[in-house]
Structures are given as C-alpha cells and as structure tokens.
A and B are shown apart, each in its own frame.
Chain A
Amino acid sequence: MDFSAIFSNLILGFTVAMSAQNLLYCFIGCLLGTLIGVLPGIGPVATIAMLLPITFNLPPIPALIMLAGIYYGASYGGSTTAILVNLPGESSSVVTCIDGYQMGKQGRAGPALAIAAIGSFFAGTVGTVLIALFGPPLAELAFEFGAAEYFSMMVLGLIAAVVLASGSLVKAIGMIIVGLLGGIVGTDVNSGIARYSFGVSELSDGIGFVSVAMGMFGFGEIISNLGQTAETKHMEVSKVHSLMPTWEDIKMSIGPIIRGTALGTVFGILPGSHTVIASFSSYTLEKKLAKDPSRFGKGAIEGVAGPESANNAAAQTCFIPLLTLGIPTGAVMALMVGAMTIQGIAPGPQVMTQKPDLFWGMIASMWIGNLMLVILNLPLIGMWVQFLKIPYRVLFPSILLFIAIGAYSINNSPFEVYMAALFGFFGYYASKWGCEAAPLILGFVLGPLMEENLRRAMLISRGDPSVFFTRPISLGMLLVAFALLLMVVLPQFQKKREILEVADD
C-alpha cells in the first residue's frame, strides 16, 4: 500500500473540506441532520429528498457534503431522543432506547449521551480512516456476496434478534413472524404478481417501512402514554445532571465501542440498510459477552456504547460502495446517487481518479463533520432537553403532526398516514401484551430481502439448495446462526433466560 499517496490524498481532501464554503455546508448538513434525527418521524430519506432541488443551485462538492452531513448527523440526533424520551428518532437508534432510556430514568442520561457521542465519534473517525485506507479494496468484498450470502446473512440477523429479545422468547418469535408476514405484502419479485394487496394499488409495493416504524414507535408510544394516568406518567424526559461519564463508565465502554465499530464497519459495506442490523448485532454481542447479562435492559452502558458506535460506523462505511463503485446500498445512498447525477457526476470507480477533489474532499468532510457533531451536540443537548420539556399536551399533538407530515411526504399521499395510524393501534396493543416492536420491525425489513435473495439464489442454482452450504461465506454465516440457535435451546441458557424473564417482570 502506498502510504505517501494516501497521505497526499488526505491533504488534498482536507484542503478542499476546510474551505469556508464547504465548512459552512458541512455545518448546515450536520445541524439539519441532528434536528431531523431528534424529531421522530422525519428521517434523512425524506429530508434529503426534500433538499435535492436546493442542491441544483450549488456546486457539486458542497451539495454532497451537506447531504452526507444530514445522513450521519441524523444518527447522532436519533440517539438523543432515544435516551431522553424512549423515542428512536431514527430506526438505527431503536436499540439505544433499550438501555439508554433506562439509564436516563436512573438519572444517568448525561453519561449515556456522552458515551453515545464519544462512541459515535470514535466510530466515525475509524470509518473515515478506513474509507481512505481500504475503500477501493474493501469495495471488492461486496462482489463476493451473491444471493446465497445475503440470504444466510439475514438468517443470522433474524436469529440474533430472537436471542436478543429480552422478554418472552415465544412473543419475540411471534413478533418476528408478524413482521415477516407483513413484509410479504406487495409485488412478488419473480412473477410480478401482487400478493395480499386486496386490490389496493398502494399496497402493490408493500407496506412502507417508514409508516410501520412511525406507527409502532411514534403513534404507539403516544397512545400508550395517554392510556396512563397523569400522575404516574408525567412526560418522562430524563434530566441531564452532568454529562461527565464516570471513570467506571468509560472503562466499561471501551470494549463495546471498539467491537461495535468493527461490526458496523463490516455491515456498512454490505448492501442493504444495515445500520439497524449493525446496532442489533452489537447489542446482542455485548449482552453475550457481559459477565452479568441481566443488567441489560436496565441501563447497562455497554448497551448504549456498542450499538451507537456500530450504527455510526455503518453510516460511514456505507459510503464505500457508493464512492468507489457508484452502487447505492440503501435508500439514502440511492438519493446520493441522484444528487451526484444532478450535478453531472456519473457515480462509479472513475470518480476517484477523475474527481479526486470531490472524493477525498467528501471523506475529509465526514471526519470534520463528526468532530462538529460532538462539539455541537454535547453543549446543545441542553437545548434539545428544553425542546423535549415541552408539556405533553403540546408535544404530543406536535409529534403526531410531524409523524403525519412525515408519513404523508413519503409518497405525497394520505395512504401512508392511515397505515401509520393502523400500526399505531397495533403497536399500542402489542406493548400492552408485552410484545416488543423491535423484532417485528426487523422481521419486516429483512423478510422481503430474505425472500428475494432466497428465491434468487435458488433460481440461479436451478433449485439446488446445497448452494447455501457449498459457498464458504454463506456456510460460515449459517454455522454462526446455528450456534446461536443452539445456545437458546441449551438447558443452561434457557434457565438463564427464565431468570431474566422473572427479573423482567
């Protein structure tokens, strides 16, 4: 590897990124990203889509720097609401709610927020360095992945989710299955026939993920809060006493941050929306490694540090396939491709050689952006807290309105709003019955992808299922999944789970 070339490339990148205009747009992007990350129901996809027309009038580099800032800024902001009010501002911070909110309830919201920011910054830095060092060779890894590998990876993801669920195993499996079934609605990829759409043309593309997530986490949360009497539930915005984590906190977080970063890096490079899987996997891993797993779900700092690092690492490294090969790995990256095209840049491997100022400038700006986010967010947390201290009677209708606007803006149609409302009711009853929403969402996201890749793998192998076991990467994933499954079935582990369950109740 030619280190002097990388060094001069990074210098070029920082020269570009440090120009006053680019710094300004990086700042605007990060600020906007944090804001929409904090606000539940307005995500980076909708925001970037809404801002695309504005970028028409900007030069390419600041335009892309700003859009990228919105994306990774949102994952910072998302954790703030997750910790303070148990509302994941973004899907990637769903896991952060579990222990982050508990920490908040125990008066330790400050350290939780600080660790989340530090973990995210560390992951962001590592991610940036990795893009610079290994971007080109790492992108080749994605080509080793065919349909069989993707399928096995998702099997692993789902099984990890079952193992992860803290409550009843049966209920977790139940919710995953409901999610998988919900994900099946829509046009069958191989035959083009609409399934379970009941003649509703809006359903022919499936139930929108955003409306399910908004409904389950947004509406559902609000309805269940309203169901409680005023004295038991006064808006539980956790107080931020002090941001400083204790030495003990930091010691406990170092491992999870490093492991989360590693996991997130790997998941980020693979196509699909993997920030969620990255944070779930990290949580599972930390729970497995913990000396006392029963602390998880009750405010374990590892449960915040690991997933937050993982989702931010993934948010950085998912730019690798985009910048080096022009292949978008998710909805946001697809919008970035659109933004590049608008600017007359055909995304692909030639960007790095033909537009080195753009490629390296963006990479450098991501690191600067991450630094800005830490500097911006920690002092601003006070402001977000103020924002969230608004009384329920004002906040709830506003959140409902934001969710409704967000849902409407997906397709400019009221249909998604109805869907969100429907899932809101379902989410309310599910939480009453002690069923977690997270496994459902994961099943919902992975279900269609799993089916698509399973059938594609079988189509290419002409119906021979051994393809999943003869390809080494696929076999490896399935073996890990099997090992996880064994752990659940093993009597010792079951006992441990039962104890956990009792403790949960």
Chain B
Amino acid sequence: MIRMFRFAISVCALAATAAGAADVYPNKPIRIVVAYTPAGTTDILARAIGQKLTEAWGQAVIIDNRPGANGNIGTEYASKATADGYTLLMTTAAPHGVNPGLYRKLGFDAVKDFAGISLVATVPNVLVVNPALPVKDVKELIAHLRANPGKINFGSPGYGSTGHMSVELFMSMTGTKMTHVPYKGDAGVLADVMGGQIALSLSNMPAYTPQIKAGRVRALAVSTSKRSPAAPEIPTMAEAGVPGYVTVAWFGLLAPTHTPRDRINKLSAETVRILKMPDVHTRLSDLGAEPVGSTPAEFDAHIKTEIVKWAKVIKDANVELQ
C-alpha cells in the first residue's frame, strides 16, 4: 500500500517536473501554525490534514503550536510569515470571528493579512442546563429567565470566548438576562453545570455529548441550522423557539495574504479532496466535527460575515472591549 503510494507520488512528481520548471510547489516541508495547545480540536484537525497532505505530496507537514492570548499570538505570528505557501494557519472562530470586534488592539488584520484556503470543519454548540433547573425546553427556559431576570448563572470557557458570545446573542435575541460566570476552559464549566454550581452553558457539543447521554445535563437545543447527526433528538434553536439563532464553532485553513494564487488554489483543492476521504470523515466525526471544505473565495466571504456578526453581538451586548 505504502509502496503504491510512493510509486504514485514519484509518478506525480515526475509528471510535474516534466510539465513545469524545477520550481514545483511544494518542494520542501510545509508548516501549519496552530494557535492552540497540542491535542485540542484545532491541533487534531491540523494534524489530520497535514498527514494526508504528506501522503499526497510527499513533503513533511510540521505542526507548529504557538498557543496563547485566545489564539492571537499564533495568528499574529503566522500573519508575518513569508507568503510562499510554506507557512499556513489553522484558524478558528476566535481570531477570525470574535477577536477583531473584541480587542482594541490586535497584532494582525484578520481580513487583510490572510488569504483563505478552505473552511475545514464546523462543530455545533449545544445549550445545556443542570437537570435540576425546572425547564424542559427552550420556551420554558425563556419564561423562567423572564421571571427571574439576572438571577440565573451561565458559565463560559472565558470572557469573550465564543461560548460567552453565543449566550450574549441568545440573551439579546430573547430579551432575557443572566449573570456571566467565566471559567478557564470547558472542563470547569462542564463540571459546574453538572454539579449545579451554575445553571446553564452554551458550548462546543463534543465535550457535552457523553454527559447528555448519561443524563447529567439536559440538552435543550443545538445552535446550528440543522440538527446534529451525533444527537438527532436535540432540536435546533429555531425549532425550539428562537428563529434565526445560529452560532457555530468553525476551523479553517489560511495562508499569509500575498501567497501565490496558484498555490492557494492547489492547497484548497487538495484540502477539499482530503475532507471527502472516509477515514478523515470518521476521525472528524469522532471529534464531533463535521467536515466542510470550500473554495478560497467562499472561505474569505465566510470570515467577513463572521467578523461582522460577532462585532454586532459585542456592540449590542455592551461587552467591554479589551
């Protein structure tokens, strides 16, 4: 199998050398910057794509983890890399969605400094409550919140995180009020919703799925426009009574802005092809992620829409800028 691959690779390489000049992309290792710690969803996605790129092109793909500051450190770092297609960035809805509206000063311009390659995957958010909270669905929750303004606590994995912003959007769309209790990361939120220290949270679904199935938290709605194949019994927010509410965590591949167009197109086509592979599909669904794949133009448009959407939420909710 591997031998066949190698053979295929060398045939491709030969064909490419014959067709073009010596300057074939890629002819040296490619680096994917990940602005988060190893073993997180972003990191696993980058490694999954990287491994398949290596198999296809015969060039090593190195994952460069540069975590910190809500993804801003690694993103700034990648924005200043040489735009030759050998440094890429696996980004998320934080540096290329929420952060541009949230931080007064960023070391990068999310739109001008980057060129989209492809949207890679999306992860639905899920609205969960502690089972002791006397509400069975979103309508009852809204009624309960209106009867107790500001008295119910919700947790988020951090101030300004997508989990925080998703609840802010929910409150502004339903005219309700809750008190924000920020944590450092998802695990603390999950434990405290289960333990009843806080009543509610709206966060990335994969971490919650086992607890939902075990009945330790009650899922009221998913934040996506369609129901999740991982838990089809949970209604969407629109079905549950908040029409137009859609938030989604997403992950995508970018390059520094002046990267040659042909290289970006080549990377995009390959990424889309990789995301259709059955084993990649399996690995992503194990993470609770749904593979997407898009053209560079579609991804650029997606980022612009996201930035506008979150900036409005931040402004409407009067979230303090950083």
Contacts and interface: CB of A to CB of B under 8 A. Distances in A.
Contact of A346 (B63, B191, B209, B320): B209
Contacts of B72: 201, 204
A412 B64 contact: yes
A190 B196 CA distance: 20
B38 A338 contact: yes
Given A147-B197, A344-B283, A460-B181, A350 B214 contact: yes
A194 B158 CA distance: 13
Interface string B64-85: 1111110011001000000000
Interface in A21-61: 49, 52-53, 56
A202 B68 contact: yes
A273 to B, nearest CB: 13
A327 B191 contact: yes
A297 interface: no
A303 interface: no
Contacts of B153: 459-460
Interface bin, chain B: 35 or more
Contacts of B190: 327
Given A204-B68, A411-B66, A460-B181, A191 B320 contact: yes
B182 interface: yes
A201 B69 contact: yes
B192 interface: yes
A192 B283 contact: no
B78 to A, nearest CB: 12
A142 B196 CA distance: 12
Contact of B287 (A49, A56, A341): A341
Contact of B65 (A271, A350, A412): A412
Interface in B198-241: 198, 206, 209-211, 213-214, 216
B145 to A, nearest CB: 16
Contact of B39 (A189, A342, A347): A342
Interface string B20-44: 0000000000000000011110011
A344 B286 contact: yes
A341 B181 contact: no
B38 A52 contact: yes
A197 B160 CA distance: 18
Contacts of B318: none
B105 to A, nearest CB: 8
Contacts of B107: 201
Interface bin, chain A: 35 or more
B38 A189 contact: no
Interface string A382-425: 00000000000000000000000000000111000000000000
Contact of B214 (A49, A337, A348, A452): A348
Nearest to B107: A201
Nearest to A329: B187
B38 A190 contact: no
B65 A142 contact: no
A460 B65 contact: no
Nearest to A147: B197
Interface in B112-158: 153, 158
A52 B39 contact: yes
Contacts of B39: 49, 52, 334-335, 337-339, 341-342
A322 to B, nearest CB: 10
Contacts of B43: 338
Interface string A130-147: 000000000000111111
B5 interface: no
Nearest to B282: A344
B197 A460 contact: yes
Given A335-B38, A346-B206, A452-B184, A460 B198 contact: yes
Contacts of A337: 39, 187
A271 B192 CA distance: 12
Nearest to A188: B159
Contacts of A348: 210-211, 214
Contact of A349 (B37, B182, B214): B214
Interface string A443-455: 0000000001000
A193 B322 contact: yes
B287 A326 contact: no
A328 B211 contact: no
Given A56-B47, A346-B210, A459-B179, A143 B38 contact: no
A205 interface: yes
Contacts of B184: 189, 452
A452 B182 CA distance: 9
A334 B187 contact: yes
B10 to A, nearest CB: 24
B187 A327 contact: yes
B7 interface: no
Nearest to B287: A341
A159 B203 CA distance: 37
Contacts of B67: 411
Given A142-B191, A346-B206, A460-B181, A192 B66 contact: no
A456 interface: yes
A472 to B, nearest CB: 16
Given A201-B72, A349-B210, A411-B65, A192 B192 contact: no
Of B181, B198, B283, B320, chain A has the most CB atoms within 10 Å of the CB of B181
B175 to A, nearest CB: 22
A343 B293 CA distance: 23
Contacts of B243: none
A459 B181 contact: yes
Nearest to A51: B38
B160 A146 contact: no
B244 interface: no
A145 B196 CA distance: 10
B40 A338 contact: yes
Contacts of B181: 456, 459-460
Nearest to A140: B195
Nearest to B34: A412
B182 A189 contact: yes
Contacts of A188: 159
Contacts of B76: 201
Contacts of B68: 201-202, 204-205, 411
8 contacts: A52-B38, A189-B158, A189-B184, A205-B69, A271-B187, A339-B39, A341-B44, A460-B198
Given A325-B194, A412-B66, A413-B73, 14 more contacts: A191-B320, A201-B107, A204-B68, A335-B38, A337-B39, A341-B206, A344-B283, A346-B286, A346-B288, A349-B214, A412-B65, A413-B66, A460-B181, A460-B197
Nearest 3 CB-CB pairs, A to B?
A338-B39, A348-B210, A192-B159
